[in-house]
Amino acid sequence: MSMESAALRRVKPSPTIAVSAKARELQRQGVDVIALAAGEPDFDTPASIKEAAIRAIREGKTKYTDVDGIPELKEAICAKFKRENGLEYARTQVNVSPGGKPVLYNAFVATLSPGDEVVIPTPYWVSYPDMVYLAGGEPVFAPTSAQTGFRLTPEILERAITPRTKWLILNSPSNPSGAAYSRAELKALGEVLLRHPQVWVLTDDMYEHLLYDGFEFATIAEVVPALYARTLTMNGVSKAYAMTGWRIGYAAGPEPLIKAMAKVMSQSTSNPCSVSQWAAVEALTGPQDFIGERCAVFEKRRDLVVSMLNQASGLHCPKPEGAFYVYPSCEALLGKTAPTGKVIATDGDFVSELLGATGVAVVQGEAFGLSPFFRISYATATEVLEDACARIQRFCASLT
């Protein structure tokens, strides 16, 4: 008999964490590795946020808090939604969890029964399908393509919905493709959703602040007010405030759903770290200027990476609207032979030969449900990116 539960047997460990771990292991062995696999800003948490946490410790804010967040942070989150998204939420409509990941997980555990379906557009963030499995639901993949800009269209969405559909996940800007939805595109998807009242929307807005070329952020509960009552709008401080290690994510939505999520937390994690919650209050209410400054740095890096990858023979790299990822196609390289003699049959072969030959660690598209592509995270220093892209160019040129 297996030690693992039936639900866990359907789950695979996070492939992005696996690639990062492999890169770290090679580094420990003295290999010259450039890891472009992790979804983490290379910037530090701003000093004012760190100071707020230190103050919280000194003031003894180190005890259990309300299970789904302190009132001060919920207040700051309501103000953020109003200020940046034109969305009105009361404190009772807000959940704070130990990271964005647990927000999603708590929502699924709170709502999915066996057989319930969750529509997940591909390419997807690696954790969505497995979180659905863990919660006992069924992922239903809605395939996008480079031709649709890696965006769901109303037709693709309509085809994926069944009477068992409970949730649609939207993620804009997207991990892994960087694609973002305009207001008009969200409105068109909203028209489909209005015809299917059983479908709730979980919008993962984690990369809201990382948009380029003046692209304007939009979120579906604001664009289609009729969907407000069945939308969970999720966000967090991890990416925008460079606070991945602090573990604070949040969401707002209908009160019964928020209560159900708190019930899950009350019997599992309890509250998110008290000190991190105070740091997040400072993040959301303190100076915001550094976000735009860092975004401008990311935009330059995106341009550099897109341009250098498009100069690599056999790669095609679309220019994404946001986040800090690119999702190039390696289709033209399939069937070629690497210097080791291995024939490159899949994007998995491509990334593993690339790592072996050049030390550059990226993640195969298969992990995100759409091949033959790979994901590069460009949240790293510009010189390192130049070096990595030059190595990728040399590797592509070495294939025969």
Ligand X SMILES: Cc1ncc(COP(=O)(O)O)c(C=O)c1O
The SS3 of residue 151 is coil
**Least distance from C-beta 177 to ligand X, angstroms?**
11
Residues in 175-194 at the binding interface with ligand X, rule: CB under 6 A? 175
**Least distance from C-beta 14 to ligand X, angstroms?**
9
Binds ligand X (CB under 6 A): choice among 206, 221, 257, 317: 206
Closest to 257 (Cα-Cα) out of 161, 130, 166, 172? 166
Which residue lies nearer to ligand X by CB, 39 or 322? 39
Which residue lies nearer to ligand X by CB, 130 or 204? 204
Which residue lies nearer to ligand X by CB, 65 or 235? 235
Binds ligand X (CB under 6 A): choice among 46, 123, 137, 236: 236
Q: Which residues contact 51 (CB under 8 A, 6 or more apart)?
A: 282
Binds ligand X (CB under 6 A): choice among 46, 100, 121, 348: 100
Cβ atoms of 283 and 239 closer than 8 Å: no
Cα 296 from chain centroid?
Answer: 20
- Our finding on whether 125 is near ligand X (CB under 6 A) is yes
Binds ligand X (CB under 6 A): choice among 74, 101, 301, 336: 101
**Least distance from C-beta 239 to ligand X, angstroms?**
7
List, as one string, the DSSP characters of 37-87.
Answer: -----SSPPPHHHHHHHHHHHHTT--S---TT--HHHHHHHHHHHHHHH--
Reported as half-sphere exposure (CB side, CA atoms, 13 A), residue 160 has a value of: 27
Q: For the window 249-278, what string marks contact with ligand X as x by the rule CB under 6 A?
A: x-----------------------------
- Our finding on whether 171 is near ligand X (CB under 6 A) is yes
- Our finding on whether 95 is near ligand X (CB under 6 A) is no
- Our finding on whether 238 is near ligand X (CB under 6 A) is yes
User: In angstroms, rounded to a whole number, what is the distance separating the alpha carbons of residues 54 and 64?
Assistant: 17
3-class SS shares of the chain: helix, strand, coil, % to 5? 45, 15, 40
**Least distance from C-beta 23 to ligand X, angstroms?**
16
User: In angstroms, rounded to a whole number, what is the distance separating the alpha carbons of residues 348 and 330?
Assistant: 10
Question: Would you mind telling me the total number of residues written for the chain in this entry?
Answer: 400
Binds ligand X (CB under 6 A): choice among 41, 69, 99, 372: 99
Question: Is the peptide bond prior to 372 cis by the omega test (within 30 degrees of 0)?
Answer: yes
Which region among 23-31, 60-68, 219-227, 236-244 touches ligand X (by CB under 6 A)?
236-244
User: In angstroms, rounded to a whole number, what is the distance separating the alpha carbons of residues 344 and 362?
Assistant: 16
Binds ligand X (CB under 6 A): choice among 39, 137, 272, 328: 39
Judged by the rule CB under 6 A, the positions of this chain that interact with ligand X are 39, 99-101, 125, 171, 175, 204, 206, 236, 238, 244, 249
